[in-house]
Homo-oligomer: A and B are copies of this chain.
Amino acid sequence: MNVVDVDTPGGSYPIHIGPGRLDALDQCIPADATAIAVVTNPTVAALYGERAEAALARTGKRVLRIELPDGEAYKDWQSLNLIFDALLTHRLDRRCVLVALGGGVIGDMTGFAAAVYMRGVRFLQVPTTLLAQVDSSVGGKTAVNHPLGKNMIGAFYQPLAVEIDTDVLNTLPAREVSAGLAEVIKYGLILDPDFWTWCEVNAEKLRALDSQAVTYAIRRSCELKAQVVGKDERESGLRAILNLGHTFGHAIESGLGYGAWLHGEAVGCGMVQAAELSADVAGFDRADVERVRALVTAIGCPAVAPDLGADRWLDLMQVDKKTEGGEIRYVLMTRIGEAITRAAPDDAVRAVLARTTQ
């Protein structure tokens, strides 16, 4: 088993990575917990619900299951309220523990529910998608969507632990594997040129879920993310570079309606667009733009964005949380392994949109 430690002002906790972690969840529940609520969706529940609950039941504590509808389209207040309704109906108190068993949507919503139920209860992240394992489950960002914007309502709230069972990836659809790999290569692109090159060499192994390669990729991704959030939990500076590809990506997701593209697919495509903009305004090497496009394609993500119309694109990006005083802040590369955040002229962005959408 691999262990990565996360250390932030809001809490320190371990990430455990390895096979069979689902069967060891009881070890993560504090002795003083009064009850446990597993929040999941029907798809994940059918595959892993009973195993997780059997492990948790070994604590001798009451274990409640809360199933939410599956998909980004349901990452809203209504679903969140299903959690509150269940917790209150079953009278779970301040010392209960929530367990997020699922992908990023389940993790973000369960984390936010934990942040605000009775002004904060403890929770455990048990991510079952590659994307959630390398990104959303680590670092304490929790949220739900608002009709006027993605992740607009949320909190920074750290879990007790992140339990990554590498076995669960074997039931993941290939498209979700590709979406997860987009976030994996992102860490190389913004922080670690050696890891980027390693990803280029191992792209085929990663797509094929080679156990050793995937475990290393998860571990290295978690290490890099832990480094960043350890320095900047609340995204006042450095942490913003983790949003590479997300400003363009959010516009794709929001413009097409949440759920049409997977989040990781939108981020993968957004990275190509950010690379193009980086070459135009931040001195990023044109040859490296092609390396980004090639690797995004190699991991199975789209590299051409939908044509939403340039005005609509700019409008959708404007609503992103990363604007300051109405100005959009882009994450841009100066070279592979080095990222900055800055504004860019609308004309430059329109030029990029013209050659990256279709």
- Chain A contacts to B: CB under 8 angstroms: 34, 77, 81, 84-85, 88-89, 91, 93-95, 112, 115-120, 141-143, 146, 148-149, 152-156, 234-235, 318-319, 321, 323-326
Contact = CB atoms under 8 A, between A and B. Distances in A.
A329 B116 CA distance: 21
28 contacts: A34-B324, A34-B326, A77-B77, A77-B81, A84-B146, A84-B152, A84-B153, A88-B146, A88-B152, A88-B319, A89-B148, A91-B318, A91-B323, A91-B326, A93-B321, A93-B323, A93-B325, A93-B326, A94-B321, A95-B324, A115-B155, A116-B154, A117-B152, A118-B321, A119-B141, A119-B143, A120-B234, A155-B155
Given A93-B326, A94-B324, A119-B141, 8 more contacts: A34-B326, A77-B81, A89-B148, A91-B326, A93-B321, A93-B324, A93-B325, A119-B143
A167 to B, nearest CB: 32
Contacts of A88: 146, 148-149, 152, 319
At the interface, is chain A mostly helix, strand, loop or mixed? mixed
Contact of A156 (B34, B112, B120): B120
Contacts of A116: 112, 116, 153-155
A146 B116 CA distance: 12
- In the A-B complex, list the 6 residue pairs whose CB atoms are closest, starting with the nearest: A88-B148, A119-B154, A34-B325, A118-B321, A116-B153, A93-B323
> How many copies of the polypeptide does the oligomer hold?
2
A153 B93 CA distance: 12
A308 B81 CA distance: 28
A147 to B, nearest CB: 8
Contacts of A156: 119-120
A249 B326 CA distance: 45
A94 B321 CA distance: 7
B325 A117 contact: no
A142 B94 CA distance: 16
Most chain B C-beta atoms within 10 Å of own C-beta, residue among A84, A112, A116, A234: A116
A55 to B, nearest CB: 22
A234 B146 CA distance: 28
Contacts of A115: 155
Contacts of A326: 34, 91, 93
Contacts of A319: 88, 91
Contacts of A149: 88
Nearest to A323: B93
Contacts of A117: 152-153
A291 B136 CA distance: 56
A93 B325 CA distance: 7
A230 to B, nearest CB: 18
A141 B85 CA distance: 22
A120 B112 CA distance: 13
A197 to B, nearest CB: 34
Contacts of A146: 84, 88
A357 to B, nearest CB: 24
A116 B321 CA distance: 13
A34 B148 CA distance: 20
Nearest to A78: B77
Given A81-B77, A88-B146, A318-B91, A120 B155 contact: yes
